[in-house]
Amino acid sequence: MCWCGRWSAGWCARTRHQEARQVRDLRLAELQQDPEADWKPVGELLAVRGPRHHQEVVRLLDDLAALADRDGTTSAFTERYARSSPPTERRRP
Protein backbone atom coordinates (compact mmCIF):
# COMPACT_ATOMS: atom_id res chain seq x y z
CA MET A 1 0.00 0.00 0.00
CA CYS A 2 1.19 3.49 -0.81
CA TRP A 3 1.67 6.17 1.85
CA CYS A 4 -1.47 7.97 0.63
CA GLY A 5 -3.67 4.95 1.34
CA ARG A 6 -4.06 3.74 -2.24
CA TRP A 7 -3.07 0.22 -3.10
CA SER A 8 -0.84 1.10 -6.01
CA ALA A 9 2.34 3.06 -5.31
CA GLY A 10 2.85 3.25 -9.09
CA TRP A 11 -0.34 5.28 -9.45
CA CYS A 12 0.94 7.87 -6.98
CA ALA A 13 4.31 8.09 -8.73
CA ARG A 14 2.61 8.67 -12.09
CA THR A 15 0.31 11.27 -10.58
CA ARG A 16 3.21 13.14 -8.95
CA HIS A 17 5.14 13.00 -12.24
CA GLN A 18 2.15 14.38 -14.18
CA GLU A 19 1.63 17.16 -11.63
CA ALA A 20 5.33 18.09 -11.74
CA ARG A 21 5.19 18.19 -15.55
CA GLN A 22 2.12 20.46 -15.45
CA VAL A 23 3.84 22.84 -13.02
CA ARG A 24 6.94 22.92 -15.22
CA ASP A 25 4.85 23.55 -18.34
CA LEU A 26 3.27 26.53 -16.56
CA ARG A 27 6.71 27.88 -15.61
CA LEU A 28 7.91 27.48 -19.20
CA ALA A 29 4.82 29.26 -20.51
CA GLU A 30 5.50 32.18 -18.16
CA LEU A 31 9.18 32.14 -19.04
CA GLN A 32 8.43 32.19 -22.76
CA GLN A 33 6.78 35.59 -22.32
CA ASP A 34 10.09 37.22 -21.31
CA PRO A 35 13.05 34.84 -21.02
CA GLU A 36 15.46 37.76 -20.57
CA ALA A 37 13.82 38.53 -17.22
CA ASP A 38 15.15 35.27 -15.75
CA TRP A 39 18.71 35.72 -16.98
CA LYS A 40 19.28 38.64 -14.62
CA PRO A 41 18.66 36.64 -11.40
CA VAL A 42 20.72 33.77 -12.83
CA GLY A 43 23.74 36.06 -13.20
CA GLU A 44 23.22 37.58 -9.77
CA LEU A 45 22.79 34.21 -8.05
CA LEU A 46 25.78 32.71 -9.84
CA ALA A 47 27.92 35.56 -8.51
CA VAL A 48 26.99 34.70 -4.91
CA ARG A 49 29.43 32.32 -3.26
CA GLY A 50 28.28 29.19 -1.51
CA PRO A 51 25.49 26.64 -1.95
CA ARG A 52 22.70 28.81 -0.55
CA HIS A 53 21.01 29.56 -3.90
CA HIS A 54 22.15 26.45 -5.74
CA GLN A 55 18.69 24.85 -6.14
CA GLU A 56 17.13 28.06 -7.41
CA VAL A 57 19.90 28.60 -9.98
CA VAL A 58 19.67 25.00 -11.14
CA ARG A 59 15.89 25.26 -11.56
CA LEU A 60 16.15 28.54 -13.49
CA LEU A 61 18.90 27.22 -15.75
CA ASP A 62 17.03 23.95 -16.28
CA ASP A 63 13.90 25.87 -17.30
CA LEU A 64 15.87 28.17 -19.60
CA ALA A 65 17.62 25.15 -21.18
CA ALA A 66 14.30 23.33 -21.68
CA LEU A 67 12.81 26.42 -23.31
CA ALA A 68 15.84 26.79 -25.57
CA ASP A 69 15.67 23.10 -26.49
CA ARG A 70 11.98 23.38 -27.29
CA ASP A 71 12.56 26.50 -29.40
CA GLY A 72 15.67 25.11 -31.11
CA THR A 73 17.99 27.78 -29.69
CA THR A 74 20.33 25.66 -27.60
CA SER A 75 23.46 27.27 -29.04
CA ALA A 76 22.18 30.72 -28.03
CA PHE A 77 21.46 29.38 -24.55
CA THR A 78 24.97 27.92 -24.27
CA GLU A 79 26.57 31.21 -25.35
CA ARG A 80 24.42 33.19 -22.93
CA TYR A 81 25.20 30.83 -20.08
CA ALA A 82 28.93 31.11 -20.77
CA ARG A 83 28.66 34.92 -20.60
CA SER A 84 26.64 34.89 -17.36
CA SER A 85 28.87 32.43 -15.49
CA PRO A 86 31.44 34.04 -13.22
CA PRO A 87 35.04 33.11 -13.96
CA THR A 88 36.38 30.31 -11.83
CA GLU A 89 39.33 30.96 -9.58
CA ARG A 90 42.29 28.66 -9.57
CA ARG A 91 43.76 27.85 -6.24
CA ARG A 92 47.49 27.79 -5.89
CA PRO A 93 49.00 24.66 -4.39
The answer as to whether 91 is a domain residue is no
- Whether residue 46 sits in one domain with residue 6: no
pTM, two decimal places? 0.67
Local confidence band at 72 (pLDDT 50, 70, 90 cut-offs)? very high
Structural domain span for residue 9 = 1-33
Sign of the dihedral through C-alpha 41, 54, 72, 24: negative
The helix/strand/coil state of 5 is coil
Residue 5: phi and psi, rounded to 5, are 100, -5
Beta-carbon contacts of residue 56 (< 8 Å; ≥ 6 apart): 41, 45
List pLDDT tens digits, range 49-61.
778 888 888 888 9
For the chain, the residue count is 93
The answer as to whether 11 is a domain residue is yes
60 contacts 42 by C-beta, under 8 angstroms: yes
Q: How many domains does the chain have?
A: 2
- Whether residue 57 sits in one domain with residue 47: yes
- Whether residue 67 sits in one domain with residue 28: no
The answer as to whether 93 is a domain residue is no
